[in-house]
Amino acid sequence: MKWQRIVLMLTIISLLALPLAWSQGGNAEQQIKKLFDQLQVAELKGDSNALEKLCADDYTSIRGDGSVLTKAQLIEGYKSGSIKYETIENKDVKIRIYGNTAITTDLSSVKNIRDGKPRIGTNRTTRIWVKQGDNWKCVLYQTTRVPPAS
């Protein structure tokens, strides 16, 4: 009889905890979506202060041409004006949460200037976010150019 009460109590606790676990997963996804949007706005505005806060200290950016930027190089690029976005349009944004790690992927059409050269194109991008303390930080950005349709 006593073990039946224990099983019943454990079942009730499990059923009560399940929605809480689901809501926390959804909460992380909502947090990442908000940060993803903030990152896009910071890029469009050239807001190096916002980028400083959104990117982890060990942030790495892998560009479509295979070159690599550190966080310091990225921030300097925005401050100097060698990196400037005119438009960013995201489609097919997907967010996946794996505990304290999140991955975003999207298809983005961009118009930007890099080192004085205008670029217009479409890219597949991946960002990896890691929760550090109470804050999510972008640790990796990787972009692959999508060739124009022929």
pLDDT score, position 13: 55
Nearest by Cα to 69 from 59, 82, 80, 81: 59
pLDDT for 98-128, tens place per residue? Answer: 999 999 999 999 999 888 889 899 999 999 9
Q: Are 54 and 38 in contact (CB under 8 A)?
A: yes
Written out in words, the top-level CATH class of the domain with range 2-146 is alpha beta
Task: For residues 93 and 114, give the distance between their C-alpha atoms in angstroms, rounded to a whole number.
Answer: 24
Mean pLDDT across 17-27: 51
14 falls in which pLDDT band (50, 70, 90)?
Answer: low
Residues 6+ positions from 142 with CB-CB distance below 8 Å: 61, 62, 125, 126, 127
The pLDDT value recorded for residue 1 is: 56
Structure confidence by residue, pLDDT tens digits, 23-57:
444 699 999 999 999 999 999 999 999 999 999 99
Secondary structure tally for the chain: helices H, strands E: 3, 6
Give residue 3's pLDDT.
54
pLDDT at 116: 87
